[in-house]
Amino acid sequence: MTKTTNNMISLSVLGTIHTIISIVAIIFAIAAFIQFGKIQPGTTTGNYYSILTVFACITAFGLSKAGGFNPGHALAIMILLFLAIAYWLRRSNQAWTKYVQTFLMTTTLLLSLIPAVNETLTRIPLGHPLATDITSPAITKTLMGLLILYVIALIIQTLFIRKMQTATHKE
């Protein structure tokens, strides 16, 4: 639950913990993209991202403006499922699993950013937020921009995986 008083945002203790965990997880995702071009399970950055994302999802279940189950909770379930599948796929040596694993991990980041954008733009700047709800143009345009970046990232990641697999087969 969030309250705005005297132009200050006050979050519940759980909301504050959730926000901090989520921000740090996103920082690890960015570091993974810089380091590997993708969030890769089994690497230090990939593991920290995944662990923090699991905690962010778990804490999200305790948050709800309207009370009860909400779309953010559904996203958290999807993220947890995608993370579990991506880590399970590490056991396989099949070439296709790298593509699916990359898709799943990149998708967890996109799904995490949907509520992050909504919550941020409906609160900031203080006193005059950029959006009133998820249908506000600021939110829809930001989410559309993220979707475009997501598709571009997946294309680049797919081409990179293909290039690496082709190089491996030539050796």
The string of pLDDT tens digits covering residues 83-117 is 999 999 999 989 999 999 999 999 999 999 999 99
pLDDT the model gives residue 164: 87
Helices (H) and strands (E) counted in the chain, each on its own, are: 5, 2
For the CA atoms of 16, 138, 102, 52, the dihedral, rounded to the nearest 10 degrees, stands at 0
Looking at the DSSP bridge assignments, the partners of residue 3 are 10
The residues pairing with 11 across neighbouring beta strands, listed in sequence order, are 2
Query: pTM to 2 decimals?
Result: 0.88
Rg for the chain (alpha carbons), in Å? 18
Residue 7's pLDDT is what? 54
Distance from chain centroid for Cα 23: 10
Q: Within the chain, which residues score under 70 in pLDDT?
A: 1-10, 65-66, 169-171
